[in-house]
Amino acid sequence: MINSTVKLVFITGGVVSSLGKGLASACLGSILQARGYKVKLKKLDPYLNVDPGTMSPYQHGECYVTDDGAETDLDLGHYERFTGVPAKNSDNITTGKIYSNVISRERRGDYLGATIQVIPHVTDAIKEFILSDINDEDFVLCEIGGTVGDIESLPFIEAIRQLGNELGFSRTCFLHVTLLPFIKTAGELKTKPTQHSVKELQGMGIQPDILLCRTEVEIPEEQKSKIALFCNLKPESVIEALDAKSIYHVPISYHNQGLDNQICKHFHLDLDKKPDLSRWLNINKIQETSEGTVNIGIVGKYTSMVDAYKSLIESIFHGGLSNKVNVSIKWIDSEELENKELNINNVFKDINGIIVPGGFGFRGSEGKINGINYARVNNIPFFGICFGMQMAVLEFARNILKFKNASSSEFGKTDFPLIGLLTEWQSNKGIEKRNKDSNLGGTMRLGAYDCKLSKGTLVQSIYNQDIISERHRHRYEVNYEFNSDFEKHGMIFSGMSPSMTLPEILEIPSHPWFIGVQFHPELKSKPFDPHPLFSSFIEAALNNSRLL
């Protein structure tokens, strides 16, 4: 039984996908926080995958990992970055997970021989998820993935309709995000797609309480009145969501348009208590007054789908905020760096810092190694993340230690697996085991793990801590057996697992800034609290730019 005061806001989307429901949910959460309310955000995804862990980044973008080891939708990254509330496994559900749970219950006989149907069994399971793990929050914002009218999302729409009836108008609010396209040849905004989207939603039994209209141009008052008339709303409930110059300006923009006021009006809350938006005003002031630009090269294999690196991109910009400098990103396809006829000097011309992010598989790995070699030899600040750290180990082993056959068992059979599949390790859950035949998600070291930093190292000075906790998502580990060979030639493992068996961080003390980490620091960075590694990396890149 949830507490009797929590208020549920359901966010749906219509007309087209990629309207920014996740960002809208995150921004609404941040404004409500600024009013002093405690918030929780949840995401319901309609696809049949159990989670996005096995989905291609080309199709789904980044897989966001929580502290408790859940592989979730990238929108949970937005939620964390804007509210600072750590996401959990209980904050993301998929159709696949819902059906898995329902079928498991049926097999156990939990339904006492009933005929299992979408209504009520599947919808009940969805409602159970929505209402689970709610404590003393004032608001739970629940985003429904997909677009209204998609066959996949029908059970979710039906479930929130039922909740609206069960909890009543005073406990629930329906926010619909829609599109107002601007037809240039006609020189006007068109409201018909929004009208049809709302009609579709009404046909499913839901009357939206607030419309958030995405638009390239300002919405004239007569257009707002027209939308309100045809969609059964008051004009003040039609909120303009104009394209912003920065995503961190969106909370301010939504407040100025009255979104939080309408939410508070709906629930009969105090309107005199104004939000404290100083956090976002300060961030935007820094962005507007930042001087100079650092050029960061990202060497990856998903460069045609930048959402695959969503958290990384934002973390780099957070590092720019902390240094009050603008950041320009150059995307470098790692497969292109494998071309022996390529002039690599031209590729990295004017690049002040190089990042090799996470990834899986052999494709593009040799190009990443070539990029790392360029950074090491030319004293360019280098940041290797997860797979990027492992490739830094291989680059150093091959070119400095002369272990020419050094490779990773991830790439296939090798007689020198410097990077290998770990089959057993210690976590806060106890001993965890896996093998090459385990389900893909089951072979991962997922979630937050502690790391012990060596005193006097660069990373220890950056964190200013002896023990840190960071999120992981990987299957393979660096073989620590050759530790002394690396240290003797100038690369040290400055961060280790508490058991001192798994290398977590490497650095080259003689290099201006060369760090590789086995974890994903980008998952914990926020605009109002930039991750220290990204702040330090951008500072090093800025110093390098001044030397050019």
Reported as half-sphere exposure (CB side, CA atoms, 13 A), residue 355 has a value of 29
On average, the pLDDT of the chain sits at 91
Q: Dihedral angle at the C-alpha atoms of 247, 248, 253, 256, nearest 10 degrees?
A: 160
What pLDDT was estimated at residue 427?
Answer: 46
Tell me the residue type at 20.
Answer: G
C-alpha of 360 from chain center = 18
Residue 294 has pLDDT above 70, yes or no: yes
Report residue 287: phi and psi, to 5°. Answer: -60, -40
Query: Averaged over 328-353, what is the pLDDT?
Result: 92
How sure is the predictor about 422, in pLDDT bands with cuts at 50, 70 and 90? low
Residue 490 has pLDDT above 70, yes or no: yes
Contact at 8 Å (CB) between 1 and 167? no
pLDDT over 70 percentage in the chain: 95
What pLDDT was estimated at residue 453?
Answer: 97
Domains of the chain: 7-283 (3.40.50.300), 292-547 (3.40.50.880)
* Exposed / middle / buried, residue 429 (Cβ in 10 Å: 0-12, 13-18, 19+): exposed
Sign for the pseudo-dihedral over CA of 379, 380, 383, 388: negative
Gap between the Cα atoms of 180 and 437, Å rounded: 49
What pLDDT was estimated at residue 186?
Answer: 81
Reported as half-sphere exposure (CB side, CA atoms, 13 A), residue 375 has a value of 34
What pLDDT was estimated at residue 197?
Answer: 95
Kindly report, residue by residue over 7-36, the tens digit of the pLDDT.
999 999 998 888 889 999 999 999 999 999
Kindly report, residue by residue over 193-217, the tens digit of the pLDDT.
999 999 999 999 999 999 999 999 9
Beta-carbon contacts of 534 under 8 Å, excluding residues fewer than 6 positions away, are 315, 316, 318, 319, 322, 521, 522, 525
Query: Averaged over 492-510, what is the pLDDT?
Result: 95
Gap between the Cα atoms of 150 and 307, Å rounded: 22
Q: Which residues are catalytic?
A: 386, 520, 522
In our burial notation (b when 16+ CB lie closer than 10 A, e otherwise), range 431-453 reads eeebeeeeeeeebbbbbbbebbb
Query: Averaged over 155-171, what is the pLDDT?
Result: 96
How sure is the predictor about 436, in pLDDT bands with cuts at 50, 70 and 90? low
Kindly report, residue by residue over 81-114, the tens digit of the pLDDT.
999 999 999 999 999 999 999 999 999 999 998 9
Name the residue with tokens 């409201």.
191
Gap between the Cα atoms of 276 and 497, Å rounded: 40
How sure is the predictor about 375, in pLDDT bands with cuts at 50, 70 and 90? very high
pTM confidence score = 0.92
How sure is the predictor about 445, in pLDDT bands with cuts at 50, 70 and 90? confident
